[in-house]
Amino acid sequence: MAVSVDSARWLINEMVKVAWQVEEVLSWVGIFYLGKVTLGVAWEVGTGLRTHLWSKMVTRDLPREYGGRWAVVTGATDGIGKAYATELAKNGMNIILVSRTQEKLENVAQEIRGRYAVETEIVRADFSVGRTIYDDISKHLEGKEIGILVNNVGVAGSALCLFIDAPEDDIWALVNVNVASVPAMTKLVLPGMIARRKGAIVNISSAAEIFSLPLLQLYCASKVGCLHFHRGTLTMHSQLLVTLAAPQATGPIACRYGL
Ligand SMILES: NC(=O)c1ccc[n+]([C@@H]2O[C@H](COP(=O)([O-])OP(=O)(O)OC[C@H]3O[C@@H](n4cnc5c(N)ncnc54)[C@H](OP(=O)(O)O)[C@@H]3O)[C@@H](O)[C@H]2O)c1
């Protein structure tokens, strides 16, 4: 009888010891998890404050920071491109606006010059045409120190139609605008940036780079191309700021498709 009582006591003691050990391990897991969550929240709050508060309080000297007084923005007369052009001008950059419609280019250039003490230059170019346009763009960039390039131009093409129904011209246009323009424009500015060891290249991709949307498969594929070109450029030119923005639906595209 005494033996079985002792055994039960011993068993209970052992179980209590194990429970203490488990509790200790779980406490450490909890502490690590809490630390991770706290750091994550602090990081997000910091990023939010920097983006929405600090950036509005501080005017940066972008020409000095990126080693050139000029910024080139493709697809600069509407939406995200126009917003970039305006914001860069606000921070002291002269702007070269590259886009398709002459009248819109003139209006945006005038609007920017009216608001900020910067120079603007316009280059009318239709990126859907492909390779032949870059000689002319290159002439406009000659003799200018390009500190920032924003590869923004992009189209959805024959969006929301079956690929089988997409006109062949639309397929080539989308590839020329969304894919070819990114390396072609980068090639024009990279030698100067490398020589100065300063510069920024901003590639505007899309959240579509991570989705495979059946009616938008060519658009999604084009943005995956943009992502991988971006990553390669980033790896090879760590002295430059090479950054990628992958917006979700905003502005005109969102409105057009009711997103
Ligand atoms: N808005 C969104 O919801 C969203 C979401 C994800 C990613 N993005 C990406 O963000 C970038 C900008 O989108 P957005 O919505 O701001 O564009 P947007 O408002 O439609 O503006 C497009 C700009 O590109 C120009 N453009 C269009 N086709 C051109 C061509 N063939 N040659 C030269 N210029 C041309 C337009 O000029 P014209 O008017 O003269 O043609 C306009 O200045 C794109 O790369 C897009 O894929 C946008």
- For ligand 1, say whether the CB of 202 is within 6 Å of any of its atoms: no
pLDDT of res. 12 = 93
- For ligand 1, say whether the CB of 247 is within 6 Å of any of its atoms: yes
Q: What is the whole-number distance in angstroms between the Cα of residue 76 and the centre of ligand 1?
A: 8
Those residues whose C-beta lies under 8 Å from the C-beta of residue 49, and which sit 6 or more positions away, are none
Given a cut of 90, is residue 255 above it in pLDDT?
A: no
Q: What is the whole-number distance in angstroms between the Cα of residue 75 and the centre of ligand 1?
A: 6
pLDDT in tens, 144-186: 999 999 999 999 987 678 889 999 999 999 999 999 999 999 9
pLDDT of res. 62 = 93
Mean pLDDT of 220-234: 92
Q: What is the whole-number distance in angstroms between the Cα of residue 167 and the centre of ligand 1?
A: 20
219 counts as catalytic: yes
pTM for the predicted model, two decimal places = 0.83
Given a cut of 70, is residue 258 above it in pLDDT?
A: no
pLDDT of res. 256 = 40
Nearest to 75 by CA among 122, 135, 117, 119: 122
pLDDT of res. 251 = 53
pLDDT of res. 118 = 97
- For ligand 1, say whether the CB of 21 is within 6 Å of any of its atoms: no
Given a cut of 90, is residue 138 above it in pLDDT?
A: yes
DSSP string computed for 205-219: --GGGS---GGGHHH
Reported confidence tier of residue 254, pLDDT bands at 50, 70, 90? very low
Phi, psi of 126 (to 5 degrees): -105, 105
Q: What is the whole-number distance in angstroms between the Cα of residue 23 and the centre of ligand 1?
A: 56
Given a cut of 80, is residue 28 above it in pLDDT?
A: yes
pLDDT of res. 60 = 83
Q: Which of 66, 116, 134, 219 is catalytic?
A: 219
Give the span between the Cα atoms of 228 and 198, in whole angstroms: 22
For residue 65, the tally of other CB atoms under 10 A from its CB is: 16
Give the span between the Cα atoms of 16 and 143, in whole angstroms: 79
pLDDT of res. 3 = 64
Smallest CA separation from ligand 1 atom 8, residue = 206
pLDDT of res. 20 = 93
Q: Which residue has the higher pLDDT, 160 or 244?
A: 244
Q: Hunting for tokens 């900020």 — which residue is that?
A: 116
- For ligand 1, say whether the CB of 246 is within 6 Å of any of its atoms: no
For residue 29, the tally of other CB atoms under 10 A from its CB is: 10
Reported confidence tier of residue 2, pLDDT bands at 50, 70, 90? low
pLDDT of res. 87 = 94
From start to end of the chain, where are the E strands? 70-74, 94-99, 120-124, 146-151, 200-204, 241-245
Ligand 1 atom nearest to CA at 125 = 33
3-state secondary structure of 52: helix
Mean pLDDT of 189-202: 95
Give the span between the Cα atoms of 106 and 92, in whole angstroms: 20
Mean pLDDT of 175-198: 96
Mean pLDDT of the chain: 91
Q: Which residue has the higher pLDDT, 122 or 258?
A: 122
Name the residue of 100, 185, 226 whose CB sits within 8 Å of the most ligand 1 atoms, as the mutation to test its pocket.
100
